[in-house]
Structure 1
Amino acid sequence: MSAPLYDFSIPLFIRGLNTLSHIIKKGEEYANENGTPLSELVEWRLAPDMKPLSFQVQTATDTAKNSMARITGTEPVFMENNETTIEELQARIAKTIELLKTADASKFAGKEEAQVTLKAGPKEYLMTGQSYLTNFALPNFFFHLNTAYAILRNKGVQIGKGDYLTSFMTEA
């Protein structure tokens, strides 16, 4: 049975989270080489009014795991957004990847037209599974992955397109 929502979400989320883990590791190496406290790395941001690296990781992982739950109609796994160290961020990424690996593709089958509810603050959005995935979940996930990349690159971490794409160019 074909499950396009699975095919176009879970493998991409896993690859994206592997990229996130990789670029954060490069950021950690850069900080250590330059005598930057790792506690500062977690708080790096692109602009004063933007959220820090920790938020980007938390939101990317939340989007991935919550998408799986919303599309399959299950309860999302709760994770507190309280990570303050690189180790905690990496553990959160690893936990999310392991959770995504447990996804059953058959539970995604036929969910393209199923109703998905997205609560964002006081607002509630109703959409189909396909619309949710293509119009919110994937764009939101990649926004936060790209923002994490941009934060690190802006601070001088030597990462490039190869660091970003390598996980996407290999089999999951």
Structure 2
Amino acid sequence: MSLPLSQLAKSTTGRTFGSLINILTKAEAYAAERGTDEAVLLGWRLAPDMFPMSRQIQIASDISARGMARLAGVEIPSKDDTEKSFADLRERASWASAYIKDLDDASIDADPDGTVTFPVGRDGETMTLPRQAYLCHFILPNLYFHASTAYGLLRSCGVPLGKRDFLGG
């Protein structure tokens, strides 16, 4: 059985962003209950050269929305990274989920044997992958990486999260 890219992408990203929204809600409640400034959790990182927790949500949103725009053949969306609160980050995750959900399925599923060329890194380098590989080996792994990193960062701060929170159960 073949699964259209649109169905795979929309169901997977929708569930993952839903989980992120739930995780962010729990983290906000945790901070409020303990009188902890949200900025502490939003800026949390495990190593000095690591992006902070807030940036993990921004990157998860950007890679997913921009990647799906490339698959749909539409203009690449741009969002400023201005989020300063859990509410802002939930809005960012909601935006990415809704943006992907609203993309045209037929456009995403068009040209199944085609390729996608996309930027990697900051030096102008590009990579080209078959469309299915772009979704399954770039977009989704990046979404999972940044979502699980945000989860892990918040968990390391003591936020009471479990596997079910990440999986969306």
Counterpart residue identity of residue 134, structure 2? Y
Q: Is the 8 A contact 1:44 1:52 kept in 2?
A: yes
Q: Could you tell me how far 1:61 is from its partner in structure 2?
A: 0.6
* Matching residue of 1:34: 34
Which residues in structure 2 correspond to 1:108-119 (within 5 Å)?
108-119=108-119
What fraction of aligned residue pairs are identical, expressed as a percent? 36
Counterpart residue identity of residue 136, structure 1? F
* Matching residue of 2:140: 138
Report the TM-score, using the length of structure 2 for normalisation. Answer: 0.91
Q: 1:102-125, CA deviations, whole angstroms, 9 ceiling, x for partnerless residues?
A: 122111224332121110222111
Q: Given the alignment of the two structures, is residue 102 of structure 1 paired with residue 102 of structure 2, yes or no?
A: yes
The verdict on how the C-alpha distance between 1:153 and 1:105 changes in structure 2, with shifts beyond 3 A counting, is: same
Q: Is the 8 A contact 2:44 2:52 kept in 1?
A: yes
Q: Could you tell me how far 1:3 is from its partner in structure 2?
A: 6.2
* Matching residue of 1:159: 161
* Matching residue of 2:74: 74
Question: Could you say what secondary structure the match of 1:9 adopts?
Answer: helix
Q: 1:117-148, CA deviations, whole angstroms, 9 ceiling, x for partnerless residues?
A: 11022211111111111111111110000000
* Matching residue of 1:61: 61
Report the TM-score, using the length of structure 1 for normalisation. Answer: 0.90
Q: Structure 2 unaligned runs (5+)?
A: none
Cα distance between partner residues in 1 of 2:96 and 2:137: 22
Structure 1 consecutive aligned stretches of length 4 or more whose deviation exceeds 3 Å: none
Two-structure CA RMSD over aligned residues (Å): 1.5
Q: Could you tell me how far 1:151 is from its partner in structure 2?
A: 0.4
Cα distance between partner residues in 1 of 2:21 and 2:3: 27
Q: Could you tell me how far 1:159 is from its partner in structure 2?
A: 0.4
Q: 1:62-107, CA deviations, whole angstroms, 9 ceiling, x for partnerless residues?
A: 1211121111111122111221222211111121222122122111
Q: Structure 1 unaligned runs (5+)?
A: none
